Amino acid sequence: MRNCNVLLFFCILFIIIACKQRDINYDESKVPEYTLPDPLITGSGIQVKTPEEWYSVRRPEILSLFENNVYGRVPQENIKVEHEIISINNHFMNDLATMKQIAIYFMSGKDTLGLHLLLFVPNASPKPVPAFLGLNFAGNHTVHPDTGIIITDAWVRNDKDCGISDNKATDVSRGCQSGRWPLEMILSRGYALATAYYGEIDPDFDDGFSNGIHPLFYKDGQKRPTPDEWGSISAWAWGLSRVLDYLGEDTDIDSRRVAVIGHSRLGKTALWAGAEDTRFAMIISNNSGCGGAALSKREYGETVRSINTDFPHWFCDNFKKYNNRVNRLPVDQHELIALIAPRPVYVASAQEDQWADPKGEFLSCYYARPLYELLKTAGLPVENMPEINQPVLSGTIGYHIRSGKHDITAWDWQQYLDFADLHLK
């Protein structure tokens, strides 16, 4: 009997490992055949021929499909929001910029959640200025080593490179991710930069949504979101929109010219924020992969099953229904790009980041092009994936694949600034 139990154990282990391995495909010849939904065909089979039909029928239809099956809808709740300016430094970086720190409070009943916004405004530029807005991974104090920047007291993912342990941020981590935020480059080009720590909106670990913003929306007796309600990515996107609300009140910022940007999981967030909130003037996705810019049905690199297994809190519970039948998913990510049209969107990949499926990211841009053309914009101006480090900037959809790994670099930012100069100035 003992031998049988041991044999059964190893059989189960083999099945688990085999299933996991099937999730990881880096061979283009093994990409399954798939059929993408047509963003210009309604659910009832009618061809969309005019912008009016897109805005009145098909766009709401696709948005609802993403809400109910992927990211989750934001539940309706009367949330009170207040802003408080914590500090202003008019002489930041030798007078290059003004640095502001603003607390944004979300209140529901007796519960309050605070989010700290860090804003840098170039002093030399005529006001109001265009801005980039993006969430950061480890706290505002990691963006720049200035000792005046508030250290978050929220849960932070441990990071040896940043000196973060016990899920607590300290002085040691000041400026540890400044390479991802080339402030001097951004400010000298005439753009403001706004950032906030995503973990203050919803900590990035699975605890059944008992922390972060979600409980402020629960009905009496509710313990977690319903299967079609928001996961963490949708919550982070909601937070970006609340920051945009504040930027609309700041006279230094032109809130009609705000580009939302994100890397990796926050690239997924930026795309969803841009799809939901049409006030964002430009959307930038850096190495966003599955659930971001990459086509789900290609099942290359990270898949729907693997992302829902490794990060079960990112998407709504309904998304898990497609773990083993992604071919039945009623939407794919080219339609997420289409929801952004006709606004400019930039998608970036990295050569060594095969987990994020660079080709799948490019194809989403390519298959969104007909919608951009329907709305009388250039869309993606190329037929084929460009060479490494050869950015495509001339269309309303921009794209590049650079050499290197999964990261956001100064070279990436250079392309985003050049693209922004074409569309935000």
User: Can 264 be counted among the known catalytic residues?
Assistant: yes
pLDDT value, residue 14:
46
Catalytic member of 108, 188, 241, 406: 406
Please give the C-alpha separations between residue 337 and each of 55, 98, 223, 332, 366, in angstroms, as whole numbers: 15, 34, 33, 10, 10
Enumerate domains of the chain plus CATH numbers: 59-423 (3.40.50.1820)
- At residue 45 the predicted structure's pLDDT band, cuts being 50, 70 and 90, is very high
Whether the per-residue pLDDT at 376 is higher than 60: the answer is yes
Going by their DSSP bridges, the two strands 282-286 and 80-91 should be labelled as: unpaired
Average pLDDT over residues 222-243: 98
User: Can 364 be counted among the known catalytic residues?
Assistant: no
Whether the per-residue pLDDT at 23 is higher than 80: the answer is no
210 within 8 A of 199, measured Cβ to Cβ: no
pLDDT tens-digit series, residues 116-145: 999 999 999 999 999 999 999 999 999 999
- At residue 360 the predicted structure's pLDDT band, cuts being 50, 70 and 90, is very high
Whether the per-residue pLDDT at 20 is higher than 60: the answer is no
pLDDT tens-digit series, residues 414-424: 999 999 999 99
Average pLDDT over residues 206-219: 95
More confident residue, 1 or 80: 80
Whether the per-residue pLDDT at 97 is higher than 60: the answer is yes
Average pLDDT over residues 67-85: 95
pLDDT tens-digit series, residues 379-419: 999 999 999 999 999 999 999 999 999 999 999 999 999 99
pLDDT value, residue 9:
53
Euclidean distance between CA atoms 269 and 41, whole angstroms: 26
pLDDT tens-digit series, residues 276-316: 999 999 999 999 999 999 999 999 999 999 999 999 999 99
pLDDT value, residue 17:
47
Catalytic member of 255, 264, 285, 288: 264
Burial 227-257 (b: 16+ CB within 10 A, else e): ebbbbbbbbbbbbbbbbbebbeebebbbbeb
Q: Look up residue 170 and give its two tokens.
A: 């300290």
Average pLDDT over residues 347-376: 98
Q: Phi/psi at 19 (nearest 5 deg)?
A: -65, -40
Average predicted confidence (pLDDT) for the chain: 95
Euclidean distance between CA atoms 278 and 258, whole angstroms: 11
